[in-house]
Amino acid sequence: MRGRSRRPVAVLAGTATLLGGLLTASPALTTSPALAAAPERLAEELTDRAGALSPGAVEEIEAAQDRLVDDLGLQLFVVVVDDFDGQSPQSWMAETARLSQLGDQDLLLAVTVDGQQLELRAPEGSRLDQGRVRTLQSQGREALAAGDVDRAVTTVADGLVDSQRLSSSDRAARTLWWTLGIGAVLAAAATVALVLWRRARARTRAAEDLARARELAREHGTLAVALDDALAAAELEVGFAGAEFDPPLIASMSETVSGARDQGLEGHRRRGAVVSGPVDEPHWLVAPARAREELESVVDLTRAALERVGTIPAGLDALRHQSDLVPTRVQGLRELAARPGRSPEVQAQVAQLLDRAQADVDAGRPEAALIPLQTVVALLGPDEDAHPHA
Q: What is the pTM of this model?
A: 0.39
pLDDT of res. 344 = 81
106-112 vs 117-121, strand pairing mode = antiparallel
Are the beta carbons of 181 and 175 closer than 8 angstroms?
Answer: no
- R_g over Cα of the chain: 34
Query: Distance between CA 160 and CA 57 in Å, rounded?
Result: 16
Are the beta carbons of 119 and 89 closer than 8 angstroms?
Answer: yes
Three-class SS state of 360: helix
**Where do the DSSP E strands lie in 69-207?**
75-81, 106-112, 117-121
User: What is the edge-to-edge ordering of all strands in the sheet holding 106-112?
Assistant: 46-48, 75-81, 106-112, 117-121
Query: Distance between CA 356 and CA 351 in Å, rounded?
Result: 9
Q: Report the length, in residues, of the chain.
A: 390
pLDDT of res. 165 = 58
pLDDT of res. 55 = 95
Are the beta carbons of 19 and 8 closer than 8 angstroms?
Answer: yes
Q: Which residues pair with 275 in a beta bridge?
A: 284
The rounded average pLDDT for each run of 10 residues, N- to C-terminus, in the chain (390 residues) is: 44 34 39 63 92 94 94 94 91 94 94 92 90 93 94 94 61 57 71 80 85 90 91 82 72 88 92 87 89 92 91 81 76 76 79 79 72 78 47
Task: Compute the C-alpha angle 87/294/224, nearest 5°.
Answer: 140
